């Protein structure tokens, strides 16, 4: 079968549905790939590269006339006129908001498979273009923020003085939000993030950001992977938190987009309370915008000097890598459709992924698809969270902190007395060794606890060196006739060996993530 990759018809689009690398993968699946001449020019992929990968470079008529046509955006009527009846179109289609377009595909006898309708289940993650686009958008959002922000993201200490790091607040910890906060943190900014789903708090903190706690404003996740709508009381509490966080932020990145529609998170009043020169990057501008003042597709500056960026083409501003990732999603779809790797696509509608993507087939509209059975187990009931008065909550928190500090002080005092008594009754040789041991523990604790998450892998290399010293010392003592020394040396050698080999193994895996694929 032939597989066509035409140039995008959307005005200003710089993406292409395949890179030379993914074309090679499609050829290995048995397809005869036809790439329209110049289709990859804006993504810096030349026709010669496509030809070298095994594709045939031809005109638009040949690309659109293939058995299967893959595109980034849903092609218009003029392009559909070039497609054959019975052919398959694979692209993003915004199916929930495009009933007329789907009906037109059915009328033309074209099988439509919407890439942005891939079910949100584990085995379909490699085909999820929404996650791909969101990941790129989150990264690009930070680049746009850095471009518009009048300062540096990381704090600086120079002979001329010091500057504080930028304060970045990210709303939403989905794929785009996590990508944004991870990028901002890597640039040295102080990042805070909030999501209505409490279970993502650990993911936020693992990326080096601070999870903003607002228990009464958090909600469970619905069965389709999106957060459920907040109650009226939860919306009020969330708005208060957004106002507080945005007022002290230098950069606010909003990502709240549910099923293509933006959720209002930043009001005009909140913008008025922000600092002059601060920046809002609205990733939900394509769905209307999370900020009340966002103008989709444009960059505006408010009367109080706040910059609001509502670009809707962030992924297209990074065409080379976005096209590569998008093309990989398509390769994974074609692998699913080509079980025999013989260049023959098989549309098995009993497969929930294939059925979920298919919006039109054989003259019939097949949208919406039947619900996907994610789990047979019933969801756990959600307990109502009582709303606590903020003043009372603060008082209770202060009392709890004071009690905890008192317990810690008493425990430390008792431990110190016991240590002093043990040292006083021990020989001098033991005291000197014990002193070195305590200093190593204290120094090690403060060194490791003060290191950023991003530096844990380099730190592991240093701890491997320290463990090597421990191992050498333990081996030297293994011949001792003192049973206590012998046992302690054996334990030290065993633990140090585990730490060394385990450390090298983890470091090797981490470095493998940054190696170029063959």
Active-site residues, by number, are 120, 125, 128, 131, 226
Q: Is residue 256 a contact partner of residue 176, using CB atoms and an 8 Å limit?
A: no
CB atoms within 10 A of CB 193: 29
Tokens of 65: 């006339």
| Contacts of 118-123 spanning 24+ positions with Cβ under 8 A | 118/353, 118/356, 118/357, 119/352, 119/353, 119/356, 119/369, 119/372, 120/224, 120/225, 120/372, 121/352, 121/353, 121/372, 121/374, 123/353
Helix or strand holding residue 500 (H, E): helix 483-512
At 287, which helix (H) or strand (E)?
none
Residues in a beta bridge with 70: 90
Structure tokens at 311: 């670009």
- Output DSSP code: residue 29: T
How far is residue 88's CA from residue 357's CA, in Å, rounded to a whole number?
Answer: 12
Residues 6+ apart with CB under 8 A from 152: 163, 165, 166, 188
Q: For 166-195, give the DSSP string.
A: PEEEEE--SHHHHHHHHHHHHTT-EEEEE-
The SS3 of residue 275 is coil
d(CA 132, CA 154): 27
11's tokens: 């005005």
Q: What is the CA radius of gyration of the chain?
A: 29
- Residue 299 makes CB contacts below 8 A (sequence gap 6+) with 148, 307, 308, 309, 310, 311
Tokens representing 57 are: 């470079």
Distance CA 344, CA 340 (A): 8
Peptide bond just before 368 cis, omega within 30 deg: yes
Q: Please give the structure tokens belonging to residue 351.
A: 């497969």
Phi, psi of 3 (to 5 degrees): -130, 115
In DSSP notation, 99-135 reads HHHHHHHHHHTPEEEEGGG---SGGGGGG-HHHHHHH
Q: Does residue 349 contact residue 91 with C-beta atoms inside 8 Å?
A: no
Q: Inter-axis angle of helices 456-477 and 483-512, to 10 degrees?
A: 150
Bridge-based pairing state of the strands 167-171 and 190-194? parallel
């Amino acid at each position: 079968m032939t597989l066509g990759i035409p140039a995008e018809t959307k005005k200003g689009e710089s993406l292409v549905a395949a890179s030379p690398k993914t074309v090679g993968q499609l050829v290995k699946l048995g397809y005869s790939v036809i790439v329209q001449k110049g289709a990859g020019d804006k993504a810096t992929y030349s026709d010669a590269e496509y030809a070298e990968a095994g594709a045939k470079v031809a005109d638009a008529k040949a690309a659109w006339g293939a058995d299967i046509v893959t595109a980034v955006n849903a092609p218009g009527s003029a392009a559909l006129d070039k497609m054959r009846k019975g052919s398959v179109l694979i692209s993003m289609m915004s199916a929930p908001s495009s009933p007329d377009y789907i009906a037109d595909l059915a009328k033309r006898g074209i099988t439509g498979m919407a890439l942005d309708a891939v079910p949100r289940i584990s085995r379909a993650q490699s085909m999820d273009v929404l996650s791909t686009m969101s990941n790129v958008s989150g990264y690009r959002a930070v680049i746009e923020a850095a471009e518009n922000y009048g300062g540096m993201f990381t704090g600086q200490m120079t002979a001329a003085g010091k500057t504080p790091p930028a304060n970045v607040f990210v709303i939403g910890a989905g794929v785009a939000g996590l990508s944004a906060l991870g990028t901002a943190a890597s640039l040295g900014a102080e990042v805070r993030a909030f999501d209505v789903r409490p279970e993502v708090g650990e993911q936020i903190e693992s990326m080096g950001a601070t999870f903003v706690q607002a228990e009464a404003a958090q909600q469970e996740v619905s069965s389709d992977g999106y957060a459920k709508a907040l109650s009226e009381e939860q919306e009020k509490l969330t708005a208060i938190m957004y106002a507080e966080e945005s007022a002290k932020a230098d950069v606010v990145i909003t990502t709240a987009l549910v099923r293509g529609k933006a959720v209002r998170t930043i009001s005009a009043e909140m913008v008025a309370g922000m600092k002059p020169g601060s920046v809002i990057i609205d990733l939900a501008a394509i769905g209307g915008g999370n900020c009340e003042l966002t103008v989709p597709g444009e960059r505006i500056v408010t009367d109080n000097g706040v910059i609001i960026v509502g670009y809707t083409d962030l992924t297209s501003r990074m065409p080379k890598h976005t096209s590569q990732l998008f093309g990989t999603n398509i390769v994974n779809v074609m692998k699913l459709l080509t079980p025999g790797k013989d260049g023959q696509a098989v549309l098995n509608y009993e497969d929930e992924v294939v059925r979920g993507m298919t919006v039109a087939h054989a003259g019939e509209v097949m949208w919406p698809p039947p619900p996907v059975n994610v789990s047979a187990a019933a969801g756990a009931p959600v307990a109502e969270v009582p709303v606590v008065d903020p003043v009372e909550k603060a008082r209770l928190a202060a009392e709890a902190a004071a009690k905890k500090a008192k317990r810690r002080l008493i425990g430390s005092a008792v431990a110190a007395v016991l240590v002093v008594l043990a040292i006083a009754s021990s020989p001098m040789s033991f005291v000197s060794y014990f002193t070195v041991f305590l200093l190593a523990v204290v120094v090690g604790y403060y060194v490791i606890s003060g290191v950023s998450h991003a530096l844990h892998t380099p730190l592991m290399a240093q701890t491997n060196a320290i463990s090597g010293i421990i191992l050498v010392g333990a081996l030297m003592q293994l011949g001792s006739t003192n049973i206590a020394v012998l046992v302690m040396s054996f334990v030290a050698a065993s633990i140090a060996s585990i730490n060394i080999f385990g450390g090298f193994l983890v470091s090797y895996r981490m470095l493998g993530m940054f190696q170029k694929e063959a």
